[in-house]
Amino acid sequence: MADRWRPVWADIDLDALRHNASLVSRVAGPAALCAVVKADGYGHGGLPAARAALDGGASWLAVALVEEGVTLREAGIDAPILLLSEPPVEAMAETVARWLVPTVYTRGGLEALDRVAGAAASGPIDVHLKVDTGMHRVGADAADVLCLTEVITGSHALRLGAVWTHLAVADGADATDQEFTQVQLDRFDAALATLAAAGHVPPVTHVANSAGTIAWPAARRDMVRCGITLYGVAPTRALADAFTARTGGERLRPVLSLRTRITFVRDLASGERLSYGRRRPLPERSTVATAPIGYADGVPRRLFDVGGEVLVGGVRRPLAGVVTMDQIVVDCGPVGSAPVQVGDEVVLLGRQGSEEVTATEWADLLGTINYEVLCGIGPRVPRLIHGGDAHPPR
C-alpha cells in the first residue's frame, strides 16, 4: 500500500477462487460449470474472477450486461459468455459482433436478433431460450415457448443452443420453498416435453444456481450457473454445511477480505458518546481507535446498531459509534488492557489470528444476504489481487 495514501483495501485471493471452482465442478459434475461474474465479479473484479474460474474448471462465463461481456472479450477472454437477460434491441449488433451468447424470451427480441445476425453473415448464432417457471422476473411464458422455439429453428441466422430457467427459492429450507422448487422443475420439464413432442430437443438445458447446485441434484442438468459459491460463500449456513458434506469435508474458501489500518488513537472517559447521534456511552474508560473506512466504501451504517464487530490484534472489538461516510470508531477495550497504535491492521471481513468475520455474519446481523454485502463494497476500495495470474490493483 506504499503508493496509496488511504490504508484501505480488499485482498482478493485468486487461488481460493480456483479452489472453489474446482470444488463446485466436482459437486456439479458431470454438468458443466458456468461461472457467474456479473457485477464486477460480485465486487471481486470481473476479469480476474473470470480467469481464475476458468482455470479452476469453469467452461462458461455469465454476465448480466452486454457491456460486461464486451469488457471480458476486450481482455482476451474467448470462453463462451452467456448474457443472463435478453439484450436491448440497440445492443444486438454488439452482442453478435462479440460472439456473446444471448438469452432470449420475447418475439421482438428474437426478431431483432435475427435481423442483426442475418446481416452479419457470420454463421448461426446460438441463443438460450429462458422459460419463466415461477420466478416472474424475466422469461417466456410456458404457452409461448414452442412458438419462440419455432422462430429460432426457422431462422437461418439463429440456432437453439439451450433452454433454461431460474430457481427462486432453491436455498429455502421450509416445506413451502421445497415444494415450489419442485413445481419449478416440473414446469420446466413440461415445457421441454412440449418441445420434444414437436420435434425440438435442445442440446443443453440449465436450471441450477449455487443453491440449486448444492441442494437439488435434479436441477444440475447439463450446466450449472454458480456465482456466490465461487467467491467462497454459500447462500446460507445450512447450504455451507451441505456443500462441505458433498465434498467429503473440503470447504469453500472466502476470496475477499476487507481491511484497513488505525489512523488515530485516544483514551476516553467512561460515559463518553461517540460519532453521529451519540447513540451509546462507553461502558468504562476505554481506548478508542479511528479507521478511515465508512459507508461510502460499503460498510453499512447500521452495522453499529446491530452489534457489528471488527478484528484488531486478533480480538473482536465492537464499533464505538455509528459508521460515518469515511470513518469508523472502534472500542478497543479498557485503557491499558491491550496495546493499540496507529498503523495496526483492522479486519472488517476476513480472518485475523484465530478469529474471522464473514459476509454471512454481516448479512445475518443486517437482515440481508451475503451477496449484497460483497457487492456493496464500493469502487473506491482498491482490490489487491493475489495468487497465480494476479494483476495490479485497479
The answer to whether the Cα torsion of 124, 67, 76, 388 is positive or negative is negative
Write down the residue that cell numbers 474472477 correspond to.
49
Half-sphere exposure of 1 (CA within 13 A, CB side): 15
- Report the C-alpha gap between 219 and 205 in whole angstroms: 10
Helices (H), the chain: 14-28, 38-42, 46-56, 66-74, 92-97, 107-120, 145-153, 175-197, 210-215, 237-246, 359-366, 370-375
Same topology, domains 14-245 and 256-357? Answer is: no
- Report the C-alpha gap between 358 and 240 in whole angstroms: 13
% of the chain at pLDDT higher than 70: 97
- Give me the amino acid identity at 150: E
pLDDT reading at 393 higher than 60: no
- The fold for domain 256-357 equals Lyase, Ornithine Decarboxylase; Chain A, domain 1 (2.40.37)
pLDDT reading at 394 higher than 50: no
Region 208-230: what's the mean pLDDT? 98
Instruction: With cut-offs at 50, 70 and 90, classify the pLDDT of residue 389.
Output: low
- Report the C-alpha gap between 228 and 211 in whole angstroms: 9
pLDDT reading at 121 higher than 80: no
* Cα 181 to Cα 109, 137, 205, 217, 379, distances in angstroms: 28, 16, 17, 12, 36
- Give me the amino acid identity at 360: T
Instruction: With cut-offs at 50, 70 and 90, classify the pLDDT of residue 388.
Output: low
- Report the C-alpha gap between 349 and 309 in whole angstroms: 10
Q: What residues act catalytically?
A: 38, 276
pLDDT at 391: 46
Listed by start position, the domains of the chain span 14-245, 256-357
Kindly report, residue by residue over 326-367, the tens digit of the pLDDT.
999 999 999 999 899 999 999 999 999 999 999 999 999 999
Predicted model pTM: 0.94
Kindly report, residue by residue over 303-322, the tens digit of the pLDDT.
999 999 999 999 999 999 99
Kindly report, residue by residue over 75-107, the tens digit of the pLDDT.
999 999 999 999 999 999 999 999 999 999 999
Instruction: With cut-offs at 50, 70 and 90, classify the pLDDT of residue 63.
Output: very high
Region 35-51: what's the mean pLDDT? 98
- Considering only 120-124, 150-154, 317-321, which range has the smallest mean pLDDT? 120-124
At 205, which helix (H) or strand (E)?
strand 205-206
CB contact set of 363 (below 8 Å; sequence gap of 6+):
369, 370, 372, 373
- The fold for domain 14-245 equals TIM Barrel (3.20.20)
At residue 4, φ and ψ (nearest 5 deg) are -125, 135
